[in-house]
Amino acid sequence: MTAQANKKRGQIQALLLMLVVALPMIAAYTIYHTGWGMPTGTVNKGELVQPPQRLSDLKLLTADGDVWDIDAEDKRWRYVIPGNAECDRTCMDNLYLTRQVHIRLNDKARRAERIYLLLDDALAPELSEHIAAEHPLLRVMRANRADVEKMLAATNFAGHAAKAGRYFLMDQQGFLMLAYHPGDKGGELLKDMKKMLKTSYED
């Protein structure tokens, strides 16, 4: 084989090697910026919040009136149930369903929690008593209704706060990732949570 042929073969091999390295990066860039080639279905039972929103940036207030600092706490996945001072039947069903899912996590339950996101100034006495009796592990946090609606307005769930009966799964960094409808089943929520716990880290 001549030197010219060896040189040509070497150039071809070098080009092929460069393509092997570059093509995955080019494909990833194209999919990320255009959505082309993205699968239309997901294995999640909840609906993806697009784009995800960092709820913890809204300066949520704890029951003590302090600003919640999510970064100072253990990493947890959280079901967030937006609600009003009074809890209607749909709200009660959401509280019950998320509680049962939390219980069914068994030894993994410590890596998750539930938050009732109060969009009014204070809980009605009846709801406060109900939470204390039936949902002792539920954390109540207060948020400005307008701020929450503005945040959701930037997503595919514009206008879906407490009035729509939707609730959300929030990741360990405080981003709303998945949304659920009141008609969703507990088994579907459980599958999502188990998958998230399996693929994420813990402190």
How do the domains of the chain map onto residue ranges?
A: 1-38, 47-199
pLDDT at position 157 = 84
Amino acid 198: pLDDT: 87
Q: What span, in angstroms and rounded, lies between the C-alpha atoms of 2 and 117?
A: 76
Would you state the pLDDT for residue 38?
Answer: 42
pLDDT per residue of the chain (203 residues) written in tens, 0 to 9: 566 666 667 677 767 776 666 555 554 444 434 444 444 445 678 899 999 999 989 999 998 899 999 999 999 999 999 999 999 999 999 999 999 999 999 999 999 999 999 999 999 999 999 999 999 999 999 999 999 999 999 998 887 665 678 999 999 999 999 999 888 888 888 999 998 888 887 65
Strands 167-170 and 175-180, bridge-based pairing: antiparallel
Is residue 40 within 8 Å of 159, Cβ to Cβ? no
pLDDT at 12: 74
**Rounded Cα–Cα distance for residues 12 and 8 (Å):** 6
The label of the residue with tokens 């019950």 reads 96
Q: What is the pLDDT of residue 165?
A: 86
Query: Cβ–Cβ contacts within 10 Å for residue 39, how many?
Result: 6
- For residue 200, the model assigns a pLDDT of 80
**pLDDT score, position 95:** 96
Q: Which CATH architecture group holds 47-199?
A: 3-Layer(aba) Sandwich (3.40)
The pLDDT of residue 183 = 83
Q: What pLDDT does residue 32 have?
A: 38
Q: What is the pLDDT of residue 1?
A: 57
- Note the pTM of the prediction, 2 decimals: 0.76
Q: Is 163 helix (H, G, I), strand (E, B) or coil?
A: helix
Structure tokens belonging to residue 80 = 């967030």
pLDDT number for residue 31: 41
- Closest by alpha carbon to 93, among 162, 190, 183? 183
